A and B are shown apart, each in its own frame.
Chain A
Amino acid sequence: MRSFTYERAQSPYEAAAAAGRVRGAKFVAGGTNLIDLMKLEIETPQHLIDVNGLALDKIEPTAEGGLRIGALVRNTDLAADVRVRRDYPVLSRALVAGATGQLRNMATTAGNLLQRTRCPYFYDTNQPCNKRAPGTGCGAIGGYNRQHAIVGVSDTCIATHPSDMAVAMRVLDAGVETVKSDGTTRSIPIADFHKLPGNTPNVETALTGGELITAVTLPKPVGGAQSYRKVRDRASFAFALVSAATIMQRDGSGRVALGGVAHKPWRVEAAEGEMRRGAKAVTERLLADARTTEQNAFKVPLVERTLAAAITEART
């Protein structure tokens, strides 16, 4: 691990200001992804700003009837919150489908959104990777890419976003509240938060330099039958090949967001108009622009079948 200097932030504003001021600074909260990447020298921050002492660990009701989830709320506590379990069960389900008990006790809400891809070429510093080292090429295109993205891909990157939680946040229309290093605050719709790779796969989110996530907000509950179905190579502690966060209403309408298929949680609102016609029709719209490889083409029928199972489950 490369050497770095360390400070404990005293307030969100101070943390964001420090991150904007100090070159090579990064925030650390749970550390479950960052520390791992620092050991491999994929991440080499020169300065770490520890935000664990900030009072951002509460889940509070909003004036609009939703919830404001502090950036530091641990995955375990978010999944176990009685309001989340009752009113946003797709979020609880997505959280407990990810990682392990130990990691969920450490990982935070904001950090989960900021996870880096688990693409093996990103993780291997001997391999080319436009995300880790822009301009070096992509080892996954033409390489081992069974786990990689099938929609929203570019000629520079076919990595997937690894989060389960973010897929549920996307289907729930969450908002990401931040403070910038100049002290201004904003809320970024989750749909705009994660970026597609394009020609800059190293730019993964809408955050600007030094910007700190302070909370994630959920709109008021939408009800319906909510589920998170995750298909993976083993029954526990594995990233999704395909996952589907669904909210199905009694009138046959519904929402769906996918994990494991794109550089961001994948949702196409226009496809949801096809929900009454079934999984095949929805999937055709959701994956209309799919660009698969020989190894990951199986994900297209897998999405349809996963969605079909979710629709069937919701109707029984």
Chain B
Amino acid sequence: MTDFNPTRRSFLKATAAASGAVAAGPLLPDAEAAGAGDAGKEAAPATVNVLLRVNGADHQLLLDPRTTVLDALRERLHLTGSKKGCDQGQCGACTVIINGRRMVSCLTLAVMHDGDSITTIEGLGTPANLHPMQAAFVKHDGYQCGYCTPGQICSAVAMLDEIRSGIPSHVTEDLNAAPQATVVEFRERMSGNICRCGAYSNIIDAISEVNGRPA
């Protein structure tokens, strides 16, 4: 017996690294980031230097300006936790936290975030040391297929911060009072994260538990 026991994640990482090594040339424009089928039709676009501070580590990248934050994270930094669902800002699977605010990383270009701090699901916790929201999703079965989960968790963590900092929502009754951390508020505020498996009630249970914990 060998101890060859690949997980899907380690396999993806290994192949991504290998293809990067083969393709790497000096200052070659990033063809994979350039999008669908345009290669050869147009002159190579001028690349732009971008500093992204991702999960506490600085990454200086030379990017085609068309590269979204999501593609930079997944294809260049190989942080594949953030998922590409709709690529149109409608599903929330790509939600990350940029400078403390949750955003859909598919609808913003990496060049627009020079010097910004980005937290992805990989930066919230580790398998050995889960973020309380990650642990609560496990405990309450807040997923089935898991594809929307990284976005749900990043969104939920930042969403609770938004309530704490007094940002109102559509269901906040009194605009001049602090919004309350209720299930009704959670449901409205999480409407940008779609779960096709329909784990919503368990997701709300997980968020409620984290919210109820002493800070």
A residues in contact (CB < 8 Å) with B: 1-6, 8, 28, 30-32, 35-36, 39, 48, 50, 52, 76, 79-80, 85-86, 89, 92-93, 96-97, 99-103, 105-106, 235-237
A35: nearest chain-B partner, CB-CB = B107
Residues of B within 8 A of A79 (CB): 167-168
Give CA–CA (A102, B104) in the complex, Å: 6
Residue of B43, B66, B89, B95 near A32 (CB, 8 A) is B89
Residues of B within 8 A of A96 (CB): 168-170, 172
Residues of A within 8 A of B168 (CB): 79-80, 85, 92, 96
Give CA–CA (A122, B88) in the complex, Å: 16
B188: nearest chain-A partner, CB-CB = A236
Residues of A within 8 A of B169 (CB): 96, 101
Q: A35-B108, A80-B166, A100-B92 are in contact. Are A105 and B103 (CB under 8 A)?
A: yes
Q: How far is the CB of B75 from chain A (nearest CB, A)?
A: 14
A-B contact pairs, 28 of them (CB 8 A): A1-B35, A3-B43, A4-B45, A5-B45, A5-B46, A6-B48, A6-B111, A31-B109, A32-B89, A48-B65, A52-B112, A76-B162, A80-B167, A86-B176, A93-B175, A96-B169, A96-B172, A100-B192, A101-B155, A101-B158, A101-B169, A102-B92, A102-B102, A102-B155, A105-B101, A105-B102, A106-B104, A236-B187
Give CA–CA (A93, B172) in the complex, Å: 9
Residues of B within 8 A of A30 (CB): 108
Q: How far is the CB of A120 from chain B (nearest CB, A)?
A: 13
Give CA–CA (A76, B109) in the complex, Å: 20
B67: nearest chain-A partner, CB-CB = A1
A28–B112 CB distance below 8 A? yes
B108–A85 CB distance below 8 A? no
A36–B38 CB distance below 8 A? no
Residues of B within 8 A of A28 (CB): 109, 112
Give CA–CA (A4, B47) in the complex, Å: 10
- Residues 1-60 of B at the A interface (beta carbon under 8 Å): 34-35, 38, 42-43, 45-46, 48
- Residues 84-119 of B at the A interface (beta carbon under 8 Å): 87-89, 92, 95, 101-104, 107-109, 111-112, 114
A106–B166 CB distance below 8 A? no
B116: nearest chain-A partner, CB-CB = A52
Q: Is B189 positioned at the interface, with any CB of A under 8 Å from its CB? A: yes
Classify the secondary structure of B's interface with A: loop
A236: nearest chain-B partner, CB-CB = B191
Give CA–CA (A28, B159) in the complex, Å: 26
Classify the secondary structure of A's interface with B: mixed
Give CA–CA (A32, B88) in the complex, Å: 9
B88–A36 CB distance below 8 A? yes
Residues of A within 8 A of B45 (CB): 3-5
A74: nearest chain-B partner, CB-CB = B101
B192–A76 CB distance below 8 A? no
Residues of B within 8 A of A100 (CB): 92, 191-192
Residues of B within 8 A of A36 (CB): 88-89, 107
Q: Is B120 positioned at the interface, with any CB of A under 8 Å from its CB? A: no
Q: Is B149 positioned at the interface, with any CB of A under 8 Å from its CB? A: no
Give CA–CA (A99, B90) in the complex, Å: 9
A101–B35 CB distance below 8 A? no
A39–B87 CB distance below 8 A? yes
Q: Which of A4, A30, A237 has the largest number of chain B CB atoms within 10 A?
A: A237
B189: nearest chain-A partner, CB-CB = A101
Give CA–CA (A4, B187) in the complex, Å: 39
Q: How far is the CB of A84 from chain B (nearest CB, A)?
A: 9
Residues of B within 8 A of A235 (CB): 188, 191
Q: How far is the CB of B56 from chain A (nearest CB, A)?
A: 21
Residues of A within 8 A of B190 (CB): 101
Q: Is B68 positioned at the interface, with any CB of A under 8 Å from its CB? A: yes
Q: How far is the CB of B107 from chain A (nearest CB, A)?
A: 5
B99: nearest chain-A partner, CB-CB = A105
A102–B192 CB distance below 8 A? yes
Give CA–CA (A6, B46) in the complex, Å: 8
A106–B170 CB distance below 8 A? no
A6: nearest chain-B partner, CB-CB = B65
Give CA–CA (A177, B181) in the complex, Å: 38
Q: A32-B89, A85-B168, A101-B192 are in contact. Are A4 and B102 (CB under 8 A)?
A: no
